[in-house]
Amino acid sequence: MVVVGVDPGPVTHGVVIYDATARRVLWSCKASPTWEATDKAIRYSVGRIVIERPAAMGGLGTGKVGHMLDTAWEGGRMTANFQLAGIPVHEMTRRQVLRELGVMSGTGSADSRVRRACIADHETPGGPPAVGRKATPGPLYGVSSHAWQALGAVLAWLESQR
């Protein structure tokens, strides 16, 4: 099954297209506009979409409220686009993603814990690295920035389905 993960932003989104059977990233972008994410999902014959739903966690500082509302608006718009294309959409909050990946607490930011969990899930002792290099790419090669959070949403959703 091919699954798209989206970490929405107010203008651009972290997006990853993941082949759950092959356990490999097919495409990722750290700053994809809404139209590109929708177009890629349709082109790859995606079976599911997982969107990280913004949720307030603690106090929001000055200027953060508008950013959260814009992000929520874009996430809703993307959900509608995918549903119109006939693709089932699932939403997960950051807290749900962290819980499913088993990284609710620990050292570093939530973003860095999600990245480490994604890499750890794809590494095998003595095997090739999960990310790799251009000459020897691993299954997560090319994922960067907000696409890690999108991949985390996909892996968390897959874990919740087991």
CB 45 within 8 A of CB 89: no
| Token representation of residue 95 | 């807290």
Q: What percent of the chain has pLDDT over 90?
A: 58
* Residue range 2-160 in CATH 1.20.1250.20: no
Model confidence band, residue 56 (pLDDT cutoffs 50, 70, 90): low
Q: Which pTM was predicted?
A: 0.88
H-assigned helices in 23-103? 34-43, 64-84, 94-101
- pLDDT tens, residue by residue, 78-98: 889 889 889 999 999 999 999
The CA distance from 13 to 4, in Å, is 12
Query: What pLDDT score was predicted for residue 33?
Result: 85
CB 148 within 8 A of CB 118: yes
